[in-house]
């Protein structure tokens, strides 16, 4: 698109279900072929992917949080577009965002698992680290391609896609300019400053738990019923884009976990003097948060796994149809399977890619064990789990923008440990084998979640799916090399996990990897499996399916901490109120209200992500302390939490009035 070309806009049916016979026409129609895969889009995408991968790896190992990459990179893409005589096209910006966004996903797969090998003193070779990430990332992309039509086109208007919505609005609104771009930038700035201050320094409390109220404190102490609320702009915007129904189902799962299951475990087990597996301390000595992490979260993992199985079953028809279309095109010798905007990679390319990835996985496992049966079992587990978690990730990201990475990785470790123990694999070799397998599956899960966001963004805007899919592999390799070498470098400079006696190196806590290390050690020591907890979760997910409730959303609510669910519900309620207001106004004014609401919510998500990136960067500064900026009232729970609640209400007011305010006719 040359400078001066009319800016694109999303159709009115972009976020709503299609009527019978209605089709979705993206801003860039299938008949148009603007620049897409160019040197600038691929070059900037790879560069930003490497930079964010290095920064995210250190951040994830130090504070357990991986930097969100896709939304900040979409904003950077808008700025980079103005550096050239020919402004970058909308589709070039999609490619930049798609490649760069892989940074956070590949890093999450790596730092949540591979540092456990260093904690276990099994120091992997750099080539092994990179191979684990590359093979897992490629499997995540390859297994998602057949699911693309189902999740992206088949579920149009039925799944909210919060993160993809934010990225799409950033790209379209940033290109369009005018009052809408100003509104987006304003919301981004407000949320960026707000979330940066509250999550990085001691200005006011991020979490509101009402423990300063005697009745709430007594309820928490005596019944382990704890209310919590993460008062930040990112989750408010996320809940708005999710909508009221999805946010209510998500929060309902949290209510079951925190207000039913946690008190039940406490009531039944508080008299036991000894610890009850899988927890390490007696229930009577545990807080509500410890009961949730030690018992109830395993119920959530079982529910997520079962919901994932239901999701795979539901998508099988569309998957088979997609493969059928591609296979017919392959047999006929065609170069495409349809319009430019519905053209995936060929079935031959997918099958060859899966075969090559399987060979890479086999080579990796072959370096650990010379038993062909064990290697074959490892390859089979990697392929089956990668396909399974791909559907789980796509559904979770499309609904809540939250990927259950740690829960699915824990499930992988548990199942693969049980299977491999039966093949006689144990000890340090077994631990290395299982953690390598978990690293592949974890990376596949993370990458597929990011890829479905990218594919949905491309669908909304009119990208070529095959083009997006091809560059994914380039991004996976770039991010894998960057994070693999970064982990190896950091392992030589720092200790992962806990400080070892006599080792003077500084410790990087690596919280997620430490959990995985403890889990694999326990199973390779033949400790019992908490089948009852997983089975209870499976029963809950089955009940939700029988009631017609989206089981995965409910399961995610059970698994995620309550403080992440409650502000999303507030955002969903605001979305409902704004929608009712727009219906009452009707016509162009009503449509304008809906559009401004999505823009403000997307700005809150974008700003929150940027604030999180900046906050994570600050934590990497030597000598960083949260006390660098400290409000005099911060230590007073009553005042500090009241200020936090009041400011969150102000954010809600900003979202409401930013949506419903009447736009000047000259800007309409």
Residue-wise DSSP of 469-490: HHHHHHHHHHHHHHHHHHHHHH
Going by pLDDT thresholds of 50, 70 and 90, the confidence category of residue 134 is very high
Given a cut of 70, is residue 62 above it in pLDDT? no
Considering only residues 639 and 418, tell me which one the structure prediction assigns the higher pLDDT: 639
Going by pLDDT thresholds of 50, 70 and 90, the confidence category of residue 65 is low
> What are 496-521's pLDDT values in tens digits?
776 677 777 667 666 667 767 767 87
Give pLDDT, residue 561.
Answer: 84
Alpha-carbon gap, residue 270 to 256, rounded angstroms = 20
Alpha-carbon gap, residue 441 to 109, rounded angstroms = 8
Given a cut of 60, is residue 51 above it in pLDDT? yes
Among 186-190, 535-539, 594-598, 629-633, whose mean pLDDT is lowest? 594-598
Give pLDDT, residue 383.
Answer: 92
Helical H segments across 225-345, by residue range: 233-242, 244-256, 262-269, 288-291, 297-332
Which two tokens mark 390? 């791909």
| Mean pLDDT across the chain | 84
Domain boundaries, the chain: 39-667
Mean pLDDT over 19-24 rounds to 85
> What are 540-549's pLDDT values in tens digits?
999 999 998 9
- Quick one: CA dihedral 554, 605, 405, 441, positive or negative? positive
Going by pLDDT thresholds of 50, 70 and 90, the confidence category of residue 525 is low
Alpha-carbon gap, residue 257 to 251, rounded angstroms = 10
At residue 552, φ and ψ (nearest 5 deg) are -70, -40
At residue 253, φ and ψ (nearest 5 deg) are -60, -40
Give pLDDT, residue 71.
Answer: 80
- The two beta strands, 207-208 and 229-230, are antiparallel
Rg of the chain over Cα atoms, rounded to whole angstroms, equals 24
HSE on the CB side for 107, CA within 13 Å?
29
Given a cut of 70, is residue 2 above it in pLDDT? no
Among 7-11, 321-325, 351-355, whose mean pLDDT is lowest? 321-325
- DSSP letter for 630, please: B
Could you tell me what percent of the chain has a pLDDT over 90?
33
Given a cut of 70, is residue 465 above it in pLDDT? yes
| Residue partners of 270: CB distance under 8 A and separation at least 6 | 283, 284
Mean pLDDT over 239-251 rounds to 89
> What are 424-448's pLDDT values in tens digits?
777 778 888 888 898 899 899 899 9
The closest of 131, 115, 138 to 446, measured between CA atoms, is 138
Going by pLDDT thresholds of 50, 70 and 90, the confidence category of residue 458 is very high
Mean pLDDT over 478-485 rounds to 90
Given a cut of 60, is residue 322 above it in pLDDT? no
Q: What is the pTM of this model?
A: 0.79
The closest of 544, 532, 570 to 649, measured between CA atoms, is 570
Alpha-carbon gap, residue 552 to 129, rounded angstroms = 31
Which range in 74-83, 115-124, 170-179, 540-549 is most confidently predicted, on average pLDDT?
A: 540-549
Mean pLDDT over 456-460 rounds to 93
Give pLDDT, residue 91.
Answer: 92
Given a cut of 80, is residue 651 above it in pLDDT? yes
Among 89-103, 132-146, 252-266, 513-527, whose mean pLDDT is lowest? 513-527
Mean pLDDT over 42-68 rounds to 77
Alpha-carbon gap, residue 255 to 304, rounded angstroms = 16
Give the three-class secondary structure for 495: strand
């Amino acid at each position: 698109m040359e400078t001066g070309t009319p800016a694109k806009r999303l159709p009115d049916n972009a976020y709503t279900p299609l009527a019978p016979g209605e089709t979705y026409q993206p801003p860039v129609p299938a008949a148009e072929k603007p620049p897409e895969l160019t040197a600038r889009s691929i070059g900037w995408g790879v560069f930003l992917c490497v930079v964010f991968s290095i920064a995210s790896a250190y951040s994830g190992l130090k504070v357990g949080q991986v930097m969100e990459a896709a939304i900040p990179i979409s904003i950077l893409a808008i700025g980079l577009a103005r550096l050239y005589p020919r402004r970058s096209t909308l589709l070039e910006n999609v490619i930049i965002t798609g490649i760069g966004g892989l940074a956070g996903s590949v890093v999450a797969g790596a730092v949540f698992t591979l540092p456990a090998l260093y904690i276990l003193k099994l120091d992997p070779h750099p080539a092994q680290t990179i191979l684990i990430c590359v093979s897992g990332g490629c499997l995540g992309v390859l297994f998602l391609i057949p699911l693309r039509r189902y999740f992206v086109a088949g579920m149009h208007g039925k799944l909210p896609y919060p993160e993809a919505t934010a990225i799409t609005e950033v790209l379209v609104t940033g290109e369009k300019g005018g009052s809408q771009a100003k509104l987006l930038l304003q919301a981004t700035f407000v949320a960026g400053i707000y979330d940066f201050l509250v999550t990085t320094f001691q200005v006011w409390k991020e979490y509101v738990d009402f423990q300063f109220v005697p009745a709430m404190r007594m309820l928490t102490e005596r019944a382990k019923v704890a209310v919590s609320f993460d008062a930040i702009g990112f989750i408010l915007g996320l809940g708005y884009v999710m909508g009221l129904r999805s946010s209510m189902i998500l929060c309902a799962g949290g209510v079951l976990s925190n207000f039913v299951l946690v008190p039940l475990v406490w009531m039944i087990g508080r008299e036991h003097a000894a610890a009850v597996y899988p927890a390490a301390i007696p229930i009577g000595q545990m807080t509500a948060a410890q009961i949730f992490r030690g018992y109830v979260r395993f119920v959530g993992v079982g529910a997520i796994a079962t919901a994932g199985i239901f999701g795979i079953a539901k998508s099988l028809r569309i998957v088979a149809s997609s493969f059928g279309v591609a296979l017919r095109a392959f047999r006929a010798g065609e170069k495409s399977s349809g319009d430019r905007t519905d053209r995936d990679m060929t079935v031959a390319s997918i099958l060859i890619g899966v075969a090559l990835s399987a060979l890479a996985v086999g080579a990796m496992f072959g370096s650990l064990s010379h038993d062909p049966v064990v290697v074959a079992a490892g390859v089979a587990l990697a392929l089956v789990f990668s396909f399974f978690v791909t559907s789980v990730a796509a559904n979770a990201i499309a609904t809540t923008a939250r990927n259950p990475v740690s829960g699915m990785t824990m499930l992988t470790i548990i199942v693969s440990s049980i299977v491999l123990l039966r093949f006689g694999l144990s000890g340090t070799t077994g631990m290395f084998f299982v953690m390598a397998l978990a690293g592949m599956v974890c990376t596949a899960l993370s990458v597929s979640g990011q890829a479905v966001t990218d594919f949905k963004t491309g669908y909304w805007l009119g990208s070529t799916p095959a083009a997006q899919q091809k560059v994914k592999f380039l991004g996976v390799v770039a991010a894998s090399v960057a994070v693999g070498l970064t982990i190896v470098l950091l392992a030589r400079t720092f200790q992962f996990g806990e400080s070892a006696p006599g080792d003077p190196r500084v410790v990087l806590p690596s919280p997620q990897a430490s959990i995985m290390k403890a889990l694999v050690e326990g199973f390779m020591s033949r400790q019992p499996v908490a089948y009852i907890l997983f089975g209870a979760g499976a029963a809950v997910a089955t009940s939700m399916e029988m009631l017609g409730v989206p089981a995965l959303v409910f399961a995610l609510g059970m698994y995620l901490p309550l403080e992440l669910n409650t502000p999303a519900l507030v955002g969903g309620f605001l979305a409902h109120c704004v929608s009712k207001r727009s219906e009452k106004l009707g016509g162009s004014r009503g449509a304008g209200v809906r559009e401004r609401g999505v823009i403000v919510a997307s700005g809150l998500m974008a700003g929150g992500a940027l604030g999180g990136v900046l906050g994570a960067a600050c934590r990497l500064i030597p000598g960083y302390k949260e006390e660098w900026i400290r409000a005099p009232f911060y230590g007073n729970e009553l005042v500090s939490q009241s200020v936090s609640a009041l400011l969150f209400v102000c954010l809600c007011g900003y979202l409401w009035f930013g949506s419903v305010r009447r736009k000047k006719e000259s800007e309409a």
